[in-house]
Structure 1
Amino acid sequence: MTKFRLAIIATAFALLIGLAGYNWYSSLHPRSNVTTSQVDPAVRIGGNFTLTDQDGKAVDQTILNGKWTAVFFGYTYCPDVCPLTLQSLARTKAALEKSIGGKNADKLQIVFITVDPARDTPANMKAYLASGGFPPGVIGLTGTPEQITAVERAYRISAAKVGEGDTYTYNHTSLVYLMDPQGHFHSPLMSDLTPQQSAEQITDAMKGR
């Protein structure tokens, strides 16, 4: 057998080992599929809801009043997109503080609504949001399955359970919705924006541009 054939066989064997390793890793760390899409301006986003925050307090849509709000849907067992989005929003708030000052940056609040009410109890939401790397002061909301379905419909969210047992995931919409101080939808913060670009978009919205 020639050295060339030996090299080919060795390369093929290495590729097979690498593929097997990747598949094994993927099986242990499944990605949650998400959908990112533009929002049709003719479609109403938002509306009335009744949910429970991470302290067990009943809240409704009036928590959006008086501040600009970034509303994001996800779940605490999400392996990638949800924590990365919350970390990105933390950097967005930091960029806001530099560009328009801490006082005005405080006018932006972040609301995280679960799509997984079966696992995301108020206590679990509170522990999750208190973990490192997330923005301080995030409002985590959960509720009954019926309440979550209602708020998903109000915000035109798509969320579908994938798998069974304790390791199921969700395919869900990953848009961040920027709501104005009257609780009305203003614009989406797309996932392909950098934190600085998101901060600039929010600054323009606050200034009425």
Structure 2
Amino acid sequence: MKPGAMTYLKRRIAPIALALSLTAALGACQQSTVEAPPLEGAQIGGPFTLSDKDGKTVTWDSFKGKWRIVYFGYTFCPDACPMDVQAMMRGFSSFEKAHAAEAQKVQPIFITIDPERDTREVVGEWTGAFGPRLYGLTGSPEQIKQAANAFAVYYKKGESTPGGYLMDHSRTAFLLDPDGKPIAMLPVDKGPEAVSAELTKWVK
């Protein structure tokens, strides 16, 4: 190839190469800004069979296709559970007001870890105090254990006292996607606004 032709070719290729390199760099930059879910790949969530307030049998697959918020607690809890669930549901309510369509795809779920006292009627009444969207579930001790193990939730019955016994348990509100895959833990300890912001971040 003649020197002149080589120079001409270089002049034609250079802008194209520059454009391609800029496009690749932009693509890499955009990819790096996509945040992976905090719980991506975690072994959280799985099969269970429980009952709702009406005695209807409910399984994990009953919520397939829905985003799910799952919290384990008990209705006789004097402080932690009511505060957590209140923050969770107020945050959800704020999210629902701002993103009505997306909120319809979300199911908040409360699962008791105290089946001895938390009958389906008790759970139904307790969850109803936090709004109609919170779905309460209970079951036999074996069923509750299966559900808690699926979510790596710790709980233990405390010693009896004149006022009854307390339950020691972990405090986590899990957010799972429509396929049941864990996405994040909702910051109920930081209040409703933080919960709403986290839902807005992930639920699309």
The residue that corresponds to 2:128 in the other structure is 130
CA deviations 1:135-155 (Å, max 9, x no partner) are: 322111111111111111110
Q: Identity, % of aligned pairs?
A: 37
CA deviations 1:180-208 (Å, max 9, x no partner) are: 1111211111333331222121112123x
Secondary structure of 2:58's counterpart equals strand
Q: How does 1:33-44 map to 2 (within 5 A)?
A: 43-44=42-43
The residue that corresponds to 1:79 in the other structure is 78
1:180 aligns with 2:177: yes
Q: TM-score, normalised by structure 2?
A: 0.75
Secondary structure of 2:71's counterpart equals strand
1:159 aligns with 2:155: yes
Counterpart among 121, 144, 168 of residue 171 in structure 1? 168
1:52 aligns with 2:48: no
Structure 1 gaps, min length 5: 1-38
2:41 and 2:101 map into 1 onto residues whose CA distance is 34
Q: How does 1:1-209 map to 2 (within 5 A)?
A: 43-100=42-99, 102-131=100-129, 134-164=130-160, 167-207=164-204
Secondary structure of 1:45's counterpart equals coil
Residue 127 of structure 1 and its aligned partner are, at CA, apart by: 1.8
1:97 and 1:44 map into 2 onto residues whose CA distance is 28
1:201 and 1:130 map into 2 onto residues whose CA distance is 24
Structure 1 pair 113–76 and aligned structure 2 pair: CA distance change class (3 A): same
Looking at CA atoms only, which structure, 1 or 2, has the larger radius of gyration?
Answer: 2
Amino acid at match of 1:92: G
Whether the aligned pair in 2 keeps the contact of 1:72 and 1:175 (CA below 8 Å) is yes
Secondary structure of 1:167's counterpart equals coil
Residue 44 of structure 1 and its aligned partner are, at CA, apart by: 0.3
Structure 2 gaps, min length 5: 1-37
2:200 and 2:93 map into 1 onto residues whose CA distance is 13
Amino acid at match of 1:107: K
C-alpha RMSD over aligned residues: 1.8
1:72 and 1:92 map into 2 onto residues whose CA distance is 14
2:113 and 2:183 map into 1 onto residues whose CA distance is 22
Residue-pair matches, total: 166
The residue that corresponds to 1:35 in the other structure is none
Whether the aligned pair in 2 keeps the contact of 1:113 and 1:142 (CA below 8 Å) is yes
Residue 173 of structure 1 and its aligned partner are, at CA, apart by: 0.7
Structure 1 pair 180–40 and aligned structure 2 pair: CA distance change class (3 A): closer
CA deviations 1:97-155 (Å, max 9, x no partner) are: 3432x222222221000000111111111122223xx1322111111111111111110
Secondary structure of 2:84's counterpart equals helix
Whether the aligned pair in 2 keeps the contact of 1:177 and 1:188 (CA below 8 Å) is yes
1:95 and 1:198 map into 2 onto residues whose CA distance is 9
